[in-house]
Chains A and B, each alone.
Chain A
């Protein structure tokens, strides 16, 4: 079957479960591609210097990395159709080296595009309603959301319509495209925070007020990087009709008063930290009151128009348990493990949410080959209403799979090396690209992730350990979110040598906390061993099914530090 046939087929078979671009949205994207094509031409002919070109290439997702350009494609709120995934595979084959890297911000990175090809790549994306707009630069970045949005059992409301509403509002903003620094917004509609809303410049939580109306709890000033901060609530409840106006007020205060003298102190978290949340709240409320609100009068109807696109797929009425599934679990132990680890509860009876791990043992976290992308696209057409999600854990989700189909899906995935049953386990490691690709990095990350996953390659042992998040960053910019890993690893450079600082007790959820440093840095080859000691200590001390973070909170940081000190006395050089 030719590519076009497959696309046609997937369009027919796929219901519209996500936002549908109309001609105006398409025109907007095409206009941005044409603008960037012209900017590349003007850069090459010398009308724009490299310094002048930089913000515009960044606003179109194009970085200059260690070895080559890197193009970061936006996957707003992590939602992809099968058709879009196929296009990502085609681009990887045609303009890159046949693979892509899914990131912690629900984006996809190509590591080897050429500058002159990027306008064509953007055009190829635009054809399937995709873009790379504002995946970089000092502007409002791609808005991220809970990857279980719309299917989680613990949800007040699907956060994706709000995320799309914000995507449109923030795109090519006349006033807020030259901010002091990058600006990241995340949103969750659930009672479990899978979007790390306390670790973003703005975190939004869908909440109900006393009269049952849905609005937003607005959090500002969270962030990781070299000075990590947990966000603070600026307003408990903003009604939906006032959301854009309130956010505009925050952005204006930040754009005017955020520091511009030092790029490391330019994020809104520093403004909030230095001025205090009360001062910032007062400034935002003052601006909010002074604003002309007539421009926002049509927001409620516009929100409804956007939200109407996110229709649930045509679920069948099914019994909640599947005998077919139960039988396959008994017959095939590997599949049974996959179901217990990678399959989550769906809000509709008879359906399940499947996490496809992009963390095979010894693999590169988040990488997928074009073949794997096509397998995923085909699989979601066959088993999942043509929809995929990218999680900030750098995995792929099939959000609606019939329990009856799980075994067939698993077989398909297994054949493409996509059935690693480690979602949330110790080898499901979040890692930035590190020194292998990134010009900011001070140490390697990927080889560390590979070594840890090898150390724990015994899957039965991983299941015994249970859910445990390890997050690795190759520099203090913290793209690997090490601050909020139950175990965090930060790669630094000390006197020309890589040195890894280990932190414990990070938590990305509603009870968010920043991890505490365990002790002096260790060398690259010691990291797996140190982590193994910590995990063994946890296994010995935990109460029944207690999570690592809870054991750590109960026993205290000092007890974990002691583990390493004892090991040191035994002769290990830690």
Chain B
């Protein structure tokens, strides 16, 4: 897997724990939702536990533990499935401030959408990272300089820029 943060391929200091793997005593780990309660009880909420969720999850299932999580990864089963974008918005609206990660076959062409909806990082399979290299992701982070929509975390809205220019 390759991890993209701020337009660059970076090392991942989180490790995805397989379901059959025992819970390690320390280290940053991403686990499935089913194991989350037990893991939080076992290790406490020190920000070293992250969770990967389906894009169909109802946000109220996560609300009670949001403040204890160091990372939330939303799975993208395919790049054409846009549910993760709406879920990211809801996660942010619920007050989550930690790392929000899109995990799946997201394309560089969707980077601006992901950032706009509140994702910090994107995690893609290696074969995709080979075709869509760091250069492509870096330039993709700049393809949507301004959006018509307001309230999204893009570089800025056209309305704000227009108002500023008129002052």
**A174 in contact with B143 (CB, 8 Å):** no
Please tell me which one of the listed residues B115, B116, B132, B148 contacts residue A28 in the complex, with CB atoms under 8 A apart: B148
Question: How far does the alpha carbon of A173 sit from the alpha carbon of B82 in the complex, in Å?
Answer: 11
Please tell me which one of the listed residues B85, B143, B161 contacts residue A255 in the complex, with CB atoms under 8 A apart: B85
Set of chain B residues within 8 Å of A39, measured between Cβ atoms? 109
Question: How far does the alpha carbon of A385 sit from the alpha carbon of B144 in the complex, in Å?
Answer: 36
**A175 in contact with B89 (CB, 8 Å):** yes
A-B contact pairs, 10 of them (CB 8 A): A24-B162, A27-B145, A27-B146, A35-B143, A35-B144, A52-B107, A178-B85, A252-B86, A290-B93, A294-B151
Question: How far does the alpha carbon of A25 sit from the alpha carbon of B158 in the complex, in Å?
Answer: 8
**B147 in contact with A175 (CB, 8 Å):** no
Question: How far does the alpha carbon of A28 sit from the alpha carbon of B80 in the complex, in Å?
Answer: 24
**B79 in contact with A172 (CB, 8 Å):** no
Set of chain A residues within 8 Å of B154, measured between Cβ atoms? 174
Verify if A42 is at the interface (C-beta below 8 Å from B): yes
Verify if B49 is at the interface (C-beta below 8 Å from A): no
Question: How far does the alpha carbon of A138 sit from the alpha carbon of B165 in the complex, in Å?
Answer: 34
Question: How far does the alpha carbon of A298 sit from the alpha carbon of B82 in the complex, in Å?
Answer: 27
A interface residues (Cβ-Cβ under 8 A, vs B): 22-25, 27-28, 31, 34-35, 38-39, 42, 46-49, 52, 55-56, 138, 168-169, 171-179, 252, 255-256, 260, 290-292, 294-296, 298, 302
Closest 6 pairs (CB-CB, A-B) = A295-B151, A178-B82, A174-B116, A168-B148, A295-B150, A175-B85
Known A292-B93, A296-B150; contact A174-B85, beta-carbon cutoff 8 A: yes
Q: In chain B, what residue has the closest Cβ to A252?
A: B86
Verify if B112 is at the interface (C-beta below 8 Å from A): yes
Set of chain B residues within 8 Å of A176, measured between Cβ atoms? 82, 85
**B152 in contact with A42 (CB, 8 Å):** no
Verify if B136 is at the interface (C-beta below 8 Å from A): yes
Set of chain B residues within 8 Å of A168, measured between Cβ atoms? 148, 158
**A47 in contact with B148 (CB, 8 Å):** no
Set of chain B residues within 8 Å of A52, measured between Cβ atoms? 79, 107, 109
Question: How far does the alpha carbon of A298 sit from the alpha carbon of B164 in the complex, in Å?
Answer: 14
Number of A-B contacts (CB under 8 A): 107
**B144 in contact with A172 (CB, 8 Å):** yes
Please tell me which one of the listed residues A46, A55, A171, A172 contacts residue B131 in the complex, with CB atoms under 8 A apart: A46
Verify if B83 is at the interface (C-beta below 8 Å from A): yes
Set of chain A residues within 8 Å of B143, measured between Cβ atoms? 31, 34-35, 38
**A177 in contact with B113 (CB, 8 Å):** yes
Interface centre among A55, A56, A168, A174 (most CB of B within 10 A): A174
Set of chain A residues within 8 Å of B81, measured between Cβ atoms? 178, 260
Set of chain B residues within 8 Å of A31, measured between Cβ atoms? 143-145
Please tell me which one of the listed residues A22, A49, A169, A177 contacts residue B162 in the complex, with CB atoms under 8 A apart: A22
Set of chain A residues within 8 Å of B151, measured between Cβ atoms? 292, 294-296
Known A47-B131, A174-B147, A174-B149; contact A138-B93, beta-carbon cutoff 8 A: no
Question: How far does the alpha carbon of A291 sit from the alpha carbon of B89 in the complex, in Å?
Answer: 10
Q: Which of B83-120 contact A (CB under 8 A)?
A: 83, 85-87, 89, 93, 107, 109-110, 112-113, 115-117
Q: In chain A, what residue has the closest Cβ to B58?
A: A256
Known A24-B158, A28-B158, A256-B86; contact A55-B80, beta-carbon cutoff 8 A: yes
- A74 smallest CB distance to B (angstroms): 15
B interface residues (Cβ-Cβ under 8 A, vs A): 56, 79-83, 85-87, 89, 93, 107, 109-110, 112-113, 115-117, 131-132, 136, 139, 143-152, 154, 158-159, 161-162, 165
- A393 smallest CB distance to B (angstroms): 30
**A175 in contact with B113 (CB, 8 Å):** yes
Question: How far does the alpha carbon of A27 sit from the alpha carbon of B146 in the complex, in Å?
Answer: 9
**B112 in contact with A179 (CB, 8 Å):** no
Set of chain A residues within 8 Å of B150, measured between Cβ atoms? 295-296, 298
- A174 smallest CB distance to B (angstroms): 3
Set of chain B residues within 8 Å of A172, measured between Cβ atoms? 144, 147-148
Please tell me which one of the listed residues A171, A256, A294, A296 contacts residue B148 in the complex, with CB atoms under 8 A apart: A171
Please tell me which one of the listed residues A42, A177, A291 contacts residue B82 in the complex, with CB atoms under 8 A apart: A177
**A174 in contact with B113 (CB, 8 Å):** yes
Question: How far does the alpha carbon of A25 sit from the alpha carbon of B159 in the complex, in Å?
Answer: 10
- B7 smallest CB distance to A (angstroms): 15
Q: In chain B, what residue has the closest Cβ to A287?
A: B90
**A174 in contact with B152 (CB, 8 Å):** yes
Please tell me which one of the listed residues B116, B146, B165 contacts residue A175 in the complex, with CB atoms under 8 A apart: B116
Set of chain A residues within 8 Å of B161, measured between Cβ atoms? 24
**A24 in contact with B146 (CB, 8 Å):** yes
Question: How far does the alpha carbon of A294 sit from the alpha carbon of B85 in the complex, in Å?
Answer: 20
- A411 smallest CB distance to B (angstroms): 44
Question: How far does the alpha carbon of A22 sit from the alpha carbon of B165 in the complex, in Å?
Answer: 11
**A255 in contact with B107 (CB, 8 Å):** no
- A77 smallest CB distance to B (angstroms): 16
Q: In chain B, what residue has the closest Cβ to A137?
A: B80
Question: How far does the alpha carbon of A290 sit from the alpha carbon of B59 in the complex, in Å?
Answer: 13
Q: In chain A, what residue has the closest Cβ to B157?
A: A295
Set of chain B residues within 8 Å of A42, measured between Cβ atoms? 136
Q: In chain A, what residue has the closest Cβ to B87?
A: A256
Question: How far does the alpha carbon of A175 sit from the alpha carbon of B82 in the complex, in Å?
Answer: 7
Known A-B contacts: A177-B113, A178-B85, A296-B151. Give 4 more (CB < 8 A). Answer: A24-B161, A52-B109, A138-B82, A255-B86
- B13 smallest CB distance to A (angstroms): 27
Question: How far does the alpha carbon of A178 sit from the alpha carbon of B113 in the complex, in Å?
Answer: 10
Q: In chain A, what residue has the closest Cβ to B83?
A: A256
Question: How far does the alpha carbon of A363 sit from the alpha carbon of B150 in the complex, in Å?
Answer: 46
Q: In chain B, what residue has the closest Cβ to A25?
A: B158
**A175 in contact with B117 (CB, 8 Å):** yes
Question: How far does the alpha carbon of A252 sit from the alpha carbon of B149 in the complex, in Å?
Answer: 14
Question: How far does the alpha carbon of A281 sit from the alpha carbon of B139 in the complex, in Å?
Answer: 41
- A225 smallest CB distance to B (angstroms): 19
**A169 in contact with B159 (CB, 8 Å):** no
Q: In chain B, what residue has the closest Cβ to A170?
A: B148
- A205 smallest CB distance to B (angstroms): 24
Q: In chain B, what residue has the closest Cβ to A138?
A: B80
**B132 in contact with A47 (CB, 8 Å):** yes
Interface centre among B109, B152, B165 (most CB of A within 10 A): B109
Set of chain A residues within 8 Å of B148, measured between Cβ atoms? 28, 168-169, 171-172
- A375 smallest CB distance to B (angstroms): 35
**A255 in contact with B109 (CB, 8 Å):** no
Set of chain A residues within 8 Å of B146, measured between Cβ atoms? 24, 27-28
